[in-house]
Chains A and B, each alone.
Chain A
């Protein structure tokens, strides 16, 4: 209850500061719309169905992109953590891929993968991959060596050590990576839509900003993305608490 109260107070302060900035700055609506203007526009966007139409597509991209990216990243992170050779071979490519601005590569990825949902999921997964893979590698490497030695002396196979010891002990660190990754999935979906899409919140931002000059609608799309990011982050935290409490 106290947590909900704190969240409400925090939101109220945020809205008050936003309103204050728009009033003191004297900004017109097309530069910085006040919160009530954005809320009114959101109501119209919900009523017309446009917000859900675009949000549904982005949600699907986030879920699929995060699932593909996180699964691949955890498997890769385990391999990186367990084998120095694998790390030496793969990590330069992984780090280099992370250093390349995906925004520049995304239009080409869109063409390579046929421009549909697959292309957008791939772009989203690529953005999600790095923090989760690195967190998993670090988590696996931080396994207690005494426990590992004990399992080895009991005759546990490599797969058993991974399943019974290394992955469970790495979970807190892996979840740290998943928390970062899930927020990046939201950005990944928007980047993918900016590379080529007809619907989605990234597309709605473009249409509102470049097509309609409707700044309040752009803020509605941005706020929706923020809410989606918070919701997915919260979901990861809930899963983390349930798993780690055992």
Chain B
């Protein structure tokens, strides 16, 4: 039995050990002081984040005076962490940014990472309708009534003159709707064009897609910052956005280079490098969309998407579009 004082001292030591190391400016190899910043990403370490790995490993960030620490959090937490200043930068779905901003979470979208909207309706090629109206009567698997998949689904239904009542929704909150489709439980699913179709093809399914870009344009995921940081240090935001865009352009120009950076940063890629490479190639196509623009925000797509989100009732329009984005990237 430890004496009480020793027990308290041990507890204090354990608690102290659990604390994150204090943040400080870190010198790079040339001895220049770098500004330490945190980047909050959703999902998990994955090849689709190759530009960030490349920027980190090949000095894009260091050249911009930044030492970037990458963290992964559940998607809705990214907005909160960035708003609260616990992470300087984050990556979030644009449609979620609209809702978060309307819910008084002080974040702004400062650069576009995906020119193409990544969510699509996915199914067997023979089942996928040619247009959204063809979804009538179908059963559709989706993770839940939240997030970009849900926003895209309702936007597509609206474009087809349909509502939620015209289809049967089945929810897969653990994002295992691919299993539901393979099991024959639903006709089609919502999913990310750089993920679910590849998994279905690996199971021998001939995959068809119904995308939103042509019929119900919505802005894609991008970089977010907190209002406070954007007001206090726009140069820092600009430096991060530019360095990320340069790294992303480098991966688009030479995917092998991006893949090598991802392989070095994400050990699980080694388990199935062919699939990872397919994911990267599909992701590059989404970054490019109808033309990579160095992270610039397509205000027309945002405007159309904003109106769609208002019509669908996801936002009430009380926060104007210009308060959601910083079109000059800070």
The complex places the Cα of A210 from the Cα of B144 at a distance, in Å, of 9
Q: How many residue pairs bridge A and B at CB < 8 Å?
A: 77
Q: Given A194-B174, A196-B171, A206 and B103 touching (CB < 8 A)?
A: no
Q: Is A211 within 8 A of B176, CB to CB?
A: no
Q: Is A209 within 8 A of B144, CB to CB?
A: no
Q: Given A206-B144, A210-B146, A107 and B104 touching (CB < 8 A)?
A: no
Q: Is A211 within 8 A of B146, CB to CB?
A: yes
Q: Is A30 within 8 A of B99, CB to CB?
A: no
In the complex, identify which listed stretch (B79-87, B241-249, B264-272, B275-283) lies at the interface while the others stay far away: B79-87
Q: Is A197 within 8 A of B171, CB to CB?
A: yes
Q: Is A29 within 8 A of B150, CB to CB?
A: no
Q: Given A115-B185, A206-B144, A207-B146, A213 and B105 touching (CB < 8 A)?
A: yes
Contact surface of A with B, Cβ cutoff 8 Å:
28-31, 106-108, 110-111, 114-115, 193-198, 203, 206-207, 209-214
Q: Whose C-beta in chain B lies nearest to the C-beta of A114? A: B185
Given the complex, which residues of A lie within 8 Å of B150, measured CB to CB?
A: 211
Q: Is B103 within 8 A of A214, CB to CB?
A: yes
The complex places the Cα of A31 from the Cα of B85 at a distance, in Å, of 12
Q: A29, A197, A206, A211: which contacts B99 (Cβ < 8 A)?
A: A211
Shortest distance in angstroms between A200's beta carbon and chain B's nearest beta carbon? 10
Given the complex, which residues of B lie within 8 Å of A214, measured CB to CB?
A: 103
Q: A106, A114, A198, A213: which contacts B174 (Cβ < 8 A)?
A: A106
Q: Given A115-B170, A207-B144, A212 and B99 touching (CB < 8 A)?
A: yes
Chain A proximity mask over B167-197: 1 for CB below 8 Å, otherwise 0: 0011111101001100101000000000000
The complex places the Cα of A31 from the Cα of B99 at a distance, in Å, of 16
Q: Is B173 within 8 A of A194, CB to CB?
A: yes
Given the complex, which residues of A lie within 8 Å of B104, measured CB to CB?
A: 29-30
Residue B76 is within 8 A (CB to CB) of chain A in the complex: yes
Q: A30-B80, A206-B173, A213-B105 given. 20 additional CB < 8 A pairs?
A: A28-B84, A30-B83, A107-B172, A107-B174, A107-B176, A110-B172, A111-B179, A111-B185, A195-B174, A196-B174, A197-B173, A198-B145, A203-B173, A206-B144, A211-B145, A211-B146, A211-B150, A213-B76, A213-B80, A213-B99
